[in-house]
Amino acid sequence: MLDFAIFAVTFVIILVGAVLYLYPSSRRASGIPGLNPTDEKDGNLQDIVNRGSLHEFLVTLHQEFGSVASFWFGGRPVVSLGSVHQLQQHINPNHTTDSFETMLKSLLGYQSGMGGGAAETVLRKKVYENAINNTLKNNFPLVLKLVEELVGKWKSFPDSQHIPLCAHLLGLALKTVTQLALGESFKDDAKVLSFRKNHDAIWSEIGKGYLDGSLEKSSSRKGHYEKALSEMESVLLSVAKERKAQRKQTTFVDALLQSSLTERQIMEECMVFTQAGCVITANLCIWALHFLSTSEELQNKLYQELDEVLGSDPVTLDKIPQLRYCQQVLNETVRTAKLTPVAARLQGVEGKVDQHVIPKETLVIYALGVVLQDSDAWSIPYRFDPDRFEEESVRKTFCLLGFSGNQTCPELRFAYTVATVLLSTLVRQLKLHQIKGQVMEVRSELVSTPKDETWITVSGRSQN
């Protein structure tokens, strides 16, 4: 297997190591234009580290070499696609796994999702997605309650008080995900705080993708990570045993217990959902409120839709599809913030993009952060403009990239639901205001996160 240094950049590099170990192929280059390896052993690893993230590296790579470009992980070539046109051409029949879930499992050291055979993989994917969907249906009133508690807290603040979005919305995401996934025992704030401590310790390593390459060099840091992971796994296994004895059927873990998954597999699925669900939900909500706070016009347009569709009633699951402008706001949030900037798939059979042949078992990276701000696909790409999603062609492009439709990852669908409840509750009661002079910078990791705490103020909305 590749040296551990290959694992020191981002989650995709971890996936590369696993994929290349499981699927050996020739060492020949693909012939696609790109970088030569700067180091015989590590390929372009140091170039990626120097750019600060894989996303920033890919931005520069595609600027220099075009929309189809190659680089090296260790002694192996990798192909990156950086435009919608090339992604449309890319043929990969391996749709049995979700790329985000596969990468996260690889980071956590859970290889069973990759090596258990096609039938097991399809089964686990179906069980996982159905469990999330049923959990939302069974617990939607709880989501509404938790959101209303947060909005009520914000309403009690004076107009001048600065509200830290990252802290408050990660708290909302943690409460929502833990109670829906693991049950009512996580109504206990002390239990949630303990969960958060281990969650943060795990994600701080996964989220930045071992960017500085120092985990293996620091025994204290590695020990802290492994202790947090072990404690989290123990908690999840314990919860599963307790819920099995109680024979309840309302939460995510309950749904998994009704399946044929093993105890270990149930723990792994709970780990993936609680880790990814919390971070994706929190950051989708953070970025959505940040972008809305920059424009009173956008807030008023969303308010009008909410008033027309919901009136004074709370949002319900069956009403969510009718909130089309709210969906546009969330779509544009995902696009502008580059919420998940990179995905990857294994080339299952030999393929071709433009004149370039992609050999079988080549790792193909989808440079989504590049594609989402490609001026050929999006007019004025750096502007936050939900109206762009009124066009069917734009919606089709977004679906192609895996951010909507059947290919959307389950954690993102969950996050959309929670964010819709938040927006529908908040915007009808409060106006959001940006803090003057605040500069928002993106940290492009597994999920794009603000580099620093993000602040807004709120004021009451007058009722006509």
Q: Enter the DSSP assignment of 383.
A: S
- HSE (side-chain half, CA atoms, 13 Å) at 366: 27
Burial letters 419-446, b for 16+ CB under 10 A, else e:
bbbbbbbbbbbbbbbbeeeeeeebbbbb
pLDDT of 96 strictly over 70: no
Provide, rounded to the nearest whole percent, the portion of the chain with pLDDT above 70.
87
Distances (CA, A) of 127 to 53, 123, 213, 266: 33, 6, 35, 10
Answer whether 370's CB lies under 8 Å from 62's CB.
yes
pLDDT score of 89: 81
3-class SS string, 9-31: CCHHHHHHHHHHHHCCCCCCCCC
Check residues 94 and 388 and name the one with the higher pLDDT: 388
pLDDT score of 117: 63
Q: Which helix (H) or strand (E) holds 221?
A: helix 219-246
pLDDT tens per residue across span 210-252: 444 556 667 788 889 999 999 999 999 999 999 999 888 899 9
Q: Could you tell me the two tokens for 77?
A: 């070539």
Q: CA–CA separation, 259 vs 173, rounded Å?
A: 26
